[in-house]
Amino acid sequence: MAMYGIPYPDIQRILENLQLQIRQIFQDRLIGVYLYGSLVAGDFDYNSSDIDLLVVTSSPMTSSEFEALRVMHWKLASENPAWDDRIDAVYVPEKALREFRTAKSPVVISPGEPFHVREREALLDWLQNWYLVRESGFTLFGPTPAEVIPPITQDEFITAVRKYAMEVNEREYHEMNRKGQAYAILTMCRALYTSQKGKQASKRQAARWAQEQLPEWSGLIQNALTWRQAWREENIDHAVTSPETSRFVHFVASRILA
């Protein structure tokens, strides 16, 4: 059986390397490392999906730890160019995570430029992530997710999904590249699915469902799935598809609100 149940040797190697280096950097201040997202839940797309990780520490990281992590992520991206900007690691202190409904805390994120801090981040805005880690996350190191993340109700999760969909609805699309447009289209498909079904689905699963529910938009949704696969292509007129993308996002937002 593949380690972690993952049938991709290069991803196994990346995860083993990441876990080892993270443990070396934080030593006994590391609480847990958790894998979540499509790689755990299923429907992982090797060519476009991200590797999603949550790293929990006993206290906010020091400047020396930040620098060590920055170098680590930069080196990882340079040695694995296919995964550059696709290893989505979030570093959060344990106390803030346990009190995420009220806490504000520095959240350290990769990818970024390529690694950055969001100062005084409202952790409630990350409820979708915490819910998915708690419900289906895989423990690479430390206690189970339920031991570091407090219970989150299904209603809280659905409310957070709807709120995020409204944020996507407010974005400007006339200068957004096709990768961004694909993300917006597929995110809205998933938000509509969650809003109506009360549970999470992968972007691909939600897209297939939305194509059946919204046949008039089936072509655009299929395009988004294609753009997601070929997001590194160059010499593309990104602007030509932005008006239809914007109309779709607004249409789905109205359905979610209804």
**pLDDT tens by residue, 24-56:** 999 999 999 999 998 988 778 888 888 999 999
Task: Quote the pLDDT of residue 1.
Answer: 31
- Average pLDDT over every residue of 9-22: 93
Give the contacts of 132 (CB within 8 A, at least 6 positions apart). Answer: 36, 37, 41, 200
- Mean of the per-residue pLDDT values of the chain: 91
Task: Using the predicted structure, report yes or no on whether residue 114 has a pLDDT greater than 70.
Answer: no
* End-to-end C-alpha distance for the chain, whole angstroms: 46
Q: What pLDDT does 236 receive?
A: 77
pTM for the predicted model, two decimal places: 0.89
Q: Cα separation of 145 and 32, whole Å? A: 8
Give φ, ψ of 105 to 5 degrees: -155, 150
Residue burial 85-124, b: 16+ Cβ < 10 Å; e: rest:
eebbbbbbbbebbeebeebebbbbbbbeebbeeeeebebe
* 164-211 pLDDT, tens digit each: 999 999 999 887 888 899 999 999 999 999 999 999 898 899 999 999
H/E element holding 32?
strand 30-36
CA 46 → CA 6, 49, 81, 91, 120, distances in Å?
Answer: 11, 6, 14, 24, 34
Q: Find out whether 109 and 73 touch, Cβ atoms under 8 Å.
A: no
Inform me whether the pLDDT recorded for 2 exceeds 60.
no
The reported pLDDT for the residue numbered 112 is 56
- Give the pLDDT mean for 92-111: 91
> 224 and 182 in contact (C-beta within 8 Å)?
yes
pLDDT at position 232 is 62
